[in-house]
Structure 1
């Protein structure tokens, strides 16, 4: 849980930089998707069943992929602050989330 909270905090900090540079639309989209990953993972911890647990983690994975899209746009645009600080934490979080999902499917 610490990693997902730390990632959300990095997202918030990066989005504040975007907002300072008047990049409001991307900042808003990235803020929503980047912080909702952790919300869905937290919600999965109180799932009503294994199927509910997997479903909530799949939603978190979708949000992770959306976040990747927005970060990629920022990374490739010359007018946006480089999001390099997000890369390593993103990759770590992705590995953990996909490993949990993979293990959950196998133990069905």
Structure 2
């Protein structure tokens, strides 16, 4: 039986939460922020999902770096909501996103080390 992929699960659930938040924003006629947040917030999981079928370790790292950038953009939009009047409180989403960012950065670091160790092994041969 396959081990659960925590980052896939977390980013999928986060995307669902972002969709719900964007629905609330649209109900309150906050269309510009809703569109930006929906795009960047769901793109994190899409890039992680795409990385699962990467053609190489470098491609895998690249997809995760894109996900990391999308996560940072999403954090910006969540901060705007949090500190603007008449916007929903986004502290819960921010906490979830911080957890996701930590995992993404850990995976990137681990893959870079594996890639570097692989290069060092080839040099020794």
Q: Same fold (TM over 0.5)?
A: yes
| Contact 2:47–2:63 (8 Å) recurs in 1 | yes
- Structure 1 residue 20 displacement after superposition: 0.5
Consecutive unaligned residues in structure 1, runs of 5 or more:
none
Q: Does 1:67 align with 2:74?
A: yes
Match of 1:57 in 2: 64
**Structure with greater contact order relative to length (CA < 8 Å, sep ≥ 6):** 1
CA RMSD of aligned residues (A): 0.8
Q: Which residue of 2 aligns with 1:9?
A: 16
Larger Rg: 2
Matched, 1:101 2:113: no
Question: What is the TM-score with the length of structure 2 in the denominator?
Answer: 0.84
The answer as to whether partners of 2:43 and 2:70 remain within 8 angstroms in 1 is: yes
Superposed structure 1 runs of 4+ greater than 2 Å apart = none
- Selected match of 1:37 from 32, 44, 48: 44
8 Å contact from structure 2 (residues 48, 63) kept in 1: yes
TM-score, L = length of structure 1: 0.96
Deviation at 1:89, TM superposition (A): 1.2
SS in 1 for 2:53: coil
Could you tell me how far apart the structure 2 residues matched to 1:12 and 1:44 are?
22
**Displacement, 1:88?**
2.0
Q: Where do 1:21-36 residues align within 5 Å?
A: 21-36=28-43
Number of aligned residues: 108
Deviation, 1:79, is 2.2
